[in-house]
Structure 1
Amino acid sequence: MRLRALLATDALGLRLLGGEDELDRTVRGVMTTDLRDPSRYLSGGELVLTGLAWRRDAADSEPFVRILVQAGVAALAAGEAELGDVPEDLIVACARHRLPLFAVHESVAFATITEHVVRQVSGERAGDLAAVVDRHRRMMTSGPAGGGPDVVLDLLGSDLDLRAWVLSPTGRLVAGPKAAGPALAADVCARLAAEHLAATRTGRHGPHRVTLGATAYSLFPVRSSGHSPQAARDVRETVLSDWLLAVEADAGDWPEERLDLLHGVTQLIAVERDRREAARTVRRRLAQEVLELAQTGAAPAEIAARLRVAAPVLLPGLGAAPHWQVVVARVEWDGGDVEEGPAAQALLEEVLAAPLPGSASGGHDLAGPEPADRIAVAYTGGEAVALVPLPAVAAEHDGSESGVLADALLESIRGPLTAGLGDDGRITLGVSAAVHSAEGLRGALEEARHARRVAAARPGRVCAAGHQELASHVLLLPFVPDDVRRAFTARLLDPLRDYDRRHRAELIPTLEAFLDCDGSWTRCATRLHLHVNTLRYRVGRIEQLTGRDLSRLEDKLDFFLALRMS
């Protein structure tokens, strides 16, 4: 705003004492001071308010005004409450340095002037920024030149001193300001997402305000650009997949202009979300085709051909054929007419988009695009099925876990999503082992589905189970599908078969003989016509490749059942 506008506002009680030719100066802020030297607190463009307590005699006016001018302030306003009138020596000093000077009537509080200036300056800056946001949204709608939501988040910081972040419903950090400043901690992201989901489930309109520690946040929903709250049949259709904008401020007393600006920012972010949603179309179609082939019992060669098409899309530039993993999810609501399949699909895409602690598939050390661009998710009925590619490891198998881990998956999503499910929703997930070929994909699908059923048998709103929990004693139960049994066998014995094929090491025959001899080193070595040290080397290699311990009864039982079912 300009000084001329301040003088024209009668409620402020300002009277011009000098500097009529300088009234077009721009005011960028306001500061109240009675320090003799306030320069350390000035950055330029301020309207300085003073009660004149710094002035002891006429000689003090000249150095005080000189300090203000050197700091680049816009004007000085002196209160009349202390001395009755503004001293003539101050008027002369301001005229000498061409610093506009106002007198403030004793009936007007400095707080009134401060509030007016701050409100006007903030409103004008918000208006300018709103125009930038609108232009940016049009650029993003018409092409990629806009640069994504990070640019506007930076503008919020630089122009309105607002730090803001875009979060997924699981607390994943989607976008944030690039300017310097402490990053938003993962636990804070998760708690903000949980608060937002809980508030949304109660039907409260945003922004939702929450205080964590000493910091206040305002949470604005980010909905699809083609979606309005009135258009949704049921909030449960989108509550687990919509993003949110978290602003480090309490928006409770914001003027409408600023709230409208933040609404414009959420619309801009919605454009980016729709863009990412459209980019998933090809991946979804590939996953749907593979899922249908696996479910209908198609020949492995046909499934392999479809996987060869999917691999370059999900992991471009990959030299070797990837391994694959299957994750199955189901979202269930009590009552209501909620289409659960699409909701589970959107949720599973969000869940697998974040790098997971302890999860190789979620890390940034893999070749190819980010996790969000590597996952292909289809759905059938109320169940979502994710096809997760893992780069084939060139080194020999060492028995370590890779890919999506059920425990890490559960840990990353349980808190926020439990808040969004309320008392009437449930999410269950199952995770398969990695398979090395198309032949194992159907077994991996059944394995993930069976693991999900194991998770569904547990208490809790969000539950997950992995293939590790389908232990040998579970496989003896009559209701376990044959494909799950075969997947268990392949997972345990395939590393040994692969090693035998490459090195002719005869690990499988050695394992069979070792179990037949009840783990007796002497009898087994005699049967195989080997030296005991050679037998110990082979058994050590078996344990290294499978991650099992043949001195444990449980692991012996697993190997025994796997060999009998193979």
Structure 2
Amino acid sequence: MRLRALLDTDALGLRLLGGEGELDRTVRGVMTTDLKDPSRYLSGGELVLTGLAWRHDAGDSEPFVRILAGAGVTALAAGEAELGDIPDDLVVACARHRLPLFAVNESVAFATITEHVVRQVSGERAGDLAAVVERHRRMMTSGPAGGGPDVVLDLLGTDLDLRAWVLSPAGRPVAGSKLSGGALPADIRAELAAAHLAAVRTGRRGPHRVTVGPATYSLFPVRSPGRAAGGSRDVRESVLSDWLLAVEADAGDWPEERLDLLQGVTQLIAVERDRRDAARTVRRRLAQEVLELVQAGAAPAEIAARLRVAAPVLLPGLGAAPHWQVVVARVEWDGGEIEGGPAAQALLEEILVDPLATGPEHSDRIAVAHTGAEAVALVPLPAVSSDEDGPEPGLHADTLLASVREPLSAGLNDDGRLTIGVSAAVHSAEGLRGALEEARHARRVAAARPGRVCAAGHQELASHVLLLPFVPDDVRRAFTARLLDPLREYDGRHRAELIPTLEAFLDCDGSWTRCAARLHLHVNTLRYRVGRIEQLTGRDLSRLEDKLDFFLALRMS
């Protein structure tokens, strides 16, 4: 509403004392105060009501009005009940700062004016929607890092009673209001993300409404400022990388002002998204440098030197040199005219996040590079203590996509595919080239399967695959090292002679008595050694396939 409409309402008892040329100003809210400095409670656009209790002498008017004008207040209305006539020094100060000034007749209660303004500005509540957007803007831009999306969602909760969350396209929680009752359950996040991506692929304009269980959610796309809604670029270029704002409410009957508010909030969150992308620049560059060295066949010493630079950035405070895993991903669209590398890079940065990670930046240990349609992630793993036996921890292809397959399939629709390959962990720079080729080959195994979202790991590169002529030598060497290195390391620490035992056991066709006799061991001692071999490698020497794998690995070593 405009100031002119207030002046024309006789029941409000307002009399204009100054600012005749400013009556087209918009009133977005109302506030009553007698504080000398009410700036912390102002967000701009208010009609300020005051009883003048803050004024003790003529010198108080100038600083009070200067504060109101600086906060973007629309007008000041002063009550006549306290002092009778409005002091001239207040009239002069308002004229100096071009702040319209009204006198309020002593017979009119401030509550009457407040109720009228609230009813005119918003028919549903006393919240000032445009002022909330402005408060969001100030919070997000205050300080070097801004307030962050959590602050924005807190304001939505306190000002509009809206429970809201920011989700990644894979359904990962990015931010949530303290008033939102905690994080959404994983199954609900996945369903919301899938519904959002499916709606985006249809080209329908948001917000998109979806009912999950008893609740209805409105889903607002969070698009990068460079990719405004309705742009000419193909939606497939950004559908798998843009965040979404999920609000637990049905926006179908919202007034235009509230929809505009939420669209403004998504723009602020998009700025935060771009800030986080910028913060990933160093990690992306490190991954790109290592990848280029590995692909160029650089000396292991040169790669190791670059890894020593990368380790403190990717694993701050770890101390011990980490092991590494390589993950390769490709996003491919029908027709092949859209480059899938950037989308694959953004997806890997979301998919590889540790769900138990804490801190403001959940992906601060994920380094992903991309070339063409392929994205390559260099994932550091804490080094296993030399006193620990058994398989090393790391990523597993069979669980990597479990929680994100549903939403990503919806985003890929009928014309896109995501395939991922995961290498084994390597202990040094020498193994990175083999790990990269191993991950690429595992991805090709995944690409041969049906489905929109597929992954394969190094465990699926079985011995019969290694006999195929197109398998790179680096993959063969990586397979051999993965199978035999745990045994060699154990022999080096404990002098257990597991490798000679394995060779004799295979030469004797798995015969316990013949092998024990050849090695001059008791059968129980042989059984203990074979059990240790199986424990360290995760294989079963009673299975023909595992025996064949060991046989080929020993022949190629």
Matched, 1:345 2:348: no
In structure 2, how many angstroms separate the alpha carbons of the residues matched to 1:278 and 1:154? Answer: 25
SS at match of 1:479: coil
Quick one: structure 1 residues 252 and 531, their matched pair in 2 at CA, closer, same or farther if it must change by over 3 Å? same
8 Å CA contact 2:140–2:152 kept in 1: the answer is no
Write the distance in 1 (CA, Å) between the matches of 2:205 and 2:469. 51
1:389–1:334: structure 2 CA closer, same or farther, 3 Å change rule?
Answer: same
1:532 CA drift (Å) = 2.7
CA distance in 2, matches of 1:383, 1:180: 38
Q: Does 1:215 align with 2:206?
A: no
Which residue number in structure 2 is paired with residue 143 of structure 1?
Answer: 144
* Cα distance between partner residues in 2 of 1:192 and 1:513: 57
User: 1: distance between equivalents of 2:199 and 2:397?
Assistant: 28
Q: 2:134 & 2:213 partners in 1: Cα distance?
A: 34
Aligned residue in 1 for 2:269: 269
Matched residue, 2:474: 483
Greater CA deviation, 448-457 or 328-337? 328-337
* CA offsets 1:20-41 (integer angstroms, 9 cap, x no match): xxxxx999xxxxxxxxxxxxxx
CA distance in 2, matches of 1:485, 1:420: 36
Structure 1 residue matching 2:178: 3-state secondary structure:
coil
Give the aligned partner of residue 513 of structure 1.
504
Aligned residue for 1:169?
A: 169
Secondary structure of 1:192's aligned partner: helix
Distance of 1:304 and 1:518 partners within structure 2: 41
CA distance in 1, matches of 2:267, 2:196: 18
Query: Which letter does structure 2 place at the counterpart of 1:547?
Result: G
Counterpart amino acid of residue 370 in structure 2: Y
* Matching residue of 1:386: 377
Contact 1:167 1:189 in 2 (8 A): yes
- Structure 1 match to 2:539: 548
Structure 2 partner of 1:187: 187
- TM-score using structure 1 length: 0.76
Distance 1:331 1:381 in 2: 10
Q: Which runs of 5+ in 1 are unaligned?
A: 16-24, 28-97, 103-112, 356-362
SS of the aligned residue for 1:377 comes to strand
Q: Distance in 2 between matches of 1:487 and 1:240?
A: 32
The verdict on how the C-alpha distance between 1:100 and 1:256 changes in structure 2, with shifts beyond 3 A counting, is closer
State the Cα distance separating 1:451 from its structure 2 match. 0.6
Answering whether residue 526 of structure 2 is matched by residue 564 of structure 1, we say: no
Deviation at 1:403, TM superposition (A): 1.5
Question: Once the two structures are superposed, what CA deviation does each residue of 1:293-328 show, in whole Å capped at 9, x if it has no partner?
Answer: 111211111111111111111001112111100110
Counterpart secondary structure, 1:122: coil
Q: What is the CA–CA distance in structure 1 between the aligned matches of 2:371 and 2:517, rounded to whole Å?
A: 55
Closer/same/farther in 2, CA of residues 561 and 212 from structure 1, 3 Å limit = same
Deviation of residue 129 (structure 1)?
A: 1.5
Once the two structures are superposed, what CA deviation does each residue of 1:126-169 show, in whole Å capped at 9, x if it has no partner? Answer: 23312211212332xx612x331111111111110000000000
Cα distance change, pair 470–369 in 1 and its aligned pair in 2 (3 A): farther
How far, CA to CA, are the matches of 1:397 and 1:515 in structure 2? 27
- The 1-side partners of 2:186 and 2:154 are apart by 20
Partner-residue secondary structure (3-state), 2:335: coil
**1:494 is aligned to 2:497:** no
- Aligned-partner SS, 1:557: helix
Give the match for residue 289 of structure 1: 289
Distance (Å, rounded) in 1 between the aligned partners of 2:492 and 2:360: 33
The corresponding residue for 1:457 is 448
3-state SS, counterpart of residue 325 of structure 2: strand
Q: Distance in 2 between matches of 1:413 and 1:163?
A: 23
Would you say 1:445 and 2:445 are equivalent positions? no
Change (3 A) 1:182 1:386: closer
Aligned length: 460
Identity of paired residues, percent? Answer: 78
- 1:337-380 residue CA offsets vs partner (Å, 9 max, x unmatched): 3122222212221222353xxxxxxx449xx9965111111112
Q: Aligned-pair distance for 1:424? A: 1.0
State the Cα distance separating 1:203 from its structure 2 match: 1.0
Aligned partners of 1:172 and 1:354 also within 8 Å: no
SS of the residue 1:162 aligns to: coil
Structure 2: which 5+ runs fail to align? 13-29, 33-107
Partners of 1:133 and 1:264 within 8 A in 2: no
How far apart are residue 232 of structure 1 and its match? 5.0
Hey, what's the Cα distance between the residues in 2 that align with 1:322 and 1:523? 42
State the partner residue of 2:49.
none
For residue 228 of structure 1, what is the aligned residue in structure 2?
228
Structure 1 residue 100, shift from structure 2 partner: 12
Secondary structure of the residue that 2:403 maps to in structure 1? helix
The alignment partner of 1:430 has SS state of: strand
How far has the Cα of 1:466 moved from its partner? 0.8
Could you say what the CA RMSD is over the residues aligned between the two structures, in angstroms?
3.0
Q: 1:91 — aligned with what?
A: none
TM-score, L = length of structure 2: 0.77
Seen in structure 2, the aligned counterparts of structure 1 residues 122 and 540 have a Cα distance that, compared at 3 Å, is same
Residues 398 and 545 in structure 1, CA contact (< 8 A), matched pair in contact too: yes
What secondary structure sits across from 1:268 in the alignment? helix
Residues 1:254 and 1:521: Cα distance change in structure 2 (over 3 Å): same
1:288-437 correspondence to structure 2 within 5 Å:
288-335=288-335, 337-355=337-355, 363-364=356-357, 371-396=362-387, 398-400=389-391, 402-437=393-428
Cα distance change, pair 401–505 in 1 and its aligned pair in 2 (3 A): closer
Q: 1:475 to 1:218 in 2, by over 3 A?
A: same
Shift of 1:219: 0.7
Residue by residue, what CA displacement relative to the aligned partner does 1:88-132 show, whole Å, maximum 9, x if unpaired?
A: xxxxxxxxxx99999xxxxxxxxxx9x958934636432331221
Cα distance change of structure 1 residues 181 and 529 upon mapping to structure 2, 3 Å threshold: same
